[in-house]
Amino acid sequence: MASPAARAALTRVVPSAFGRLSRRGARGRGALDGVDPRGVATSSSSGEKKKRVGGVAVRATTRLSWSSGARSFAAAAHVDDGELPPHPIQTQRVSKLMSQRGMASRREAEALIDRGDVIVNGGEVATRGMKVAIDATIDIAGDSDGGANALLAKKVTVVLNKPPGYVSNLPSRGEREASELITPRNAIYHHSTGGGVVGGGADADAATRRKLEDVCRDARALNVCGRLDKDSRGLLVLTTDGVLARAIVGGNEIPKVYEVVVDAIATREQLAALNGPVALDGERLLPMRVETLEGTTLRFELRQGKKRQIRRLCEGLALRVLDLRRVHVGTCDVGDLPEGRWRLMSEAESASIRAAGLAAAGNDPNRGGRGGRGGRGGRGRGRGGR
């Protein structure tokens, strides 16, 4: 195994493994010192191709790997006193891997670990703070009292059709918060036997009514996933599911669709400007898709949410927003949900949003992944405010 001195010498002999190399000529522009175009490190002596740096003889053999349209190479070098060690195995905390794979939020994962319900690689019981290889197998064990399943089953996601006049969260004195609308009277649900949308919580069967009452009792604990400002209306997602919240607000994977009424018919030039490169407060925004639905109604599709983004961009083009309504978050649709009423997000909607967020962040739910940039949907954290 290479000594520290040998490693230091090696980094000086083969400077950076990823410079640019010309395919023309022995010393074309971009060639590295000490490397000829055949990829062999040279020395001034006529014997073995070695270079002595800091008292360590280094034999450098550099293999060039050309990729289409890119001039890059991978360098493999050896020192006389042994091979360099292989790249260290990447490890990560079990709780973070569980969060990245969509198994549970970080807090839920730690609770399951503390209970002894998390099994690594088929046999080892995970402990808090434990690190494992990023491709480790992680399972949640079902125990006799059903505690693990009960913990995960507590996740609740509410879809609310917010009317104007309510703030999404963090109300100032005298303001009304959207969570005040999460009451049994305002609930719309899918009947457990009939399968269709039927009235409010008062008409529900006993089991459904208990579930609705539980949600309403803890409504202020729900986290907002993407705020709507006080004057805006439409689909507002509130949840206790940390993984789903991160998928919605923690990255740019889940599209949000808005129907916006402005005070004039948008011209071709105004639409082109909205669909082109735009910036707010000196920050360039991700591209939007904007089109005219009918008359003065525009459809905006965003993957990034900045405070009052739509209103500010329209104002910059002399278009005044008269009404702004969010109609989609990913596959979740406000549909015909009456204004001021709420329902539980379906399993299909939740699974679709989770999967989209994990896939775009580079996480395979069944294997290790690099993990997307985390985000929180907490009461003071949800992005947005269109």
Q: pLDDT for 215-224, tens place per residue?
A: 998 888 899 9
Band of residue 148 on the pLDDT scale cut at 50, 70, 90: low
Q: How far apart are CA 193 and CA 188, in angstroms?
A: 15
pLDDT value at 37 more than 70: no
Q: Which CATH superfamily is domain 157-172+222-362 in?
A: Pseudouridine synthase (3.30.2350.10)
Please tell me which residue in 135, 139, 229, 323 is annotated as part of the active site.
Answer: 229
pLDDT value at 349 more than 60: yes
Residue 61, number of CB atoms within 10 A of its CB: 13
218 catalytic residue (yes or no): no
Q: Is the dihedral of CA 247, 250, 252, 258 positive or negative?
A: positive
Kindly report the pTM of this predicted structure.
0.62
The CA-atom distances, in angstroms, between 366 and each of 103, 138, 290, 348, 362 are 10, 9, 36, 19, 12
Q: Across all residues in the chain, what is the average pLDDT?
A: 74
pLDDT for position 197? 45
Range list for CATH 3.10.290.10 in the chain: 91-143
Do 112 and 118 form a contact (C-beta atoms < 8 A)? yes
* CA-based radius of gyration for the chain: 29
Largest CA distance in the chain: 93
Range list for CATH 3.30.2350.10 in the chain: 157-172+222-362
How is 277-308 classified by DSSP, letter by letter? Answer: --EETTEEPPP-EEEEEETTEEEEEESS--TT
Query: Which residues face 280 on adjacent strands?
Result: 283
Write the burial class of residue 37 (CB in 10 Å: 0-12 exposed, 13-18 middle, 19+ buried). Answer: middle
CA 133 to chain centre: 21
Do 256 and 241 form a contact (C-beta atoms < 8 A)? no
Tell me the per-residue pLDDT of 156-178, one tens digit each, with 9 for 90 and over: 899 999 999 999 988 899 999 99
Token output for 46: 């006529």
Position with higher pLDDT, 84 vs 34: 84
Domain 91-143 class?
Answer: alpha beta
How is 79-142 classified by DSSP, letter by letter? Answer: ETTBPPPPPPPPEEEHHHHHHHTTSS-HHHHHHHHHHT-EEETTTEEP-TT-EEETT--EEEPP
Q: How far apart are CA 142 and CA 67, in angstroms?
A: 48
> What's the mean pLDDT in 206-220?
84
List of residues 6+ apart from 380 with CB closer than 8 A:
169, 170
Band of residue 120 on the pLDDT scale cut at 50, 70, 90: very high
Q: How far apart are CA 49 and CA 40, in angstroms?
A: 8
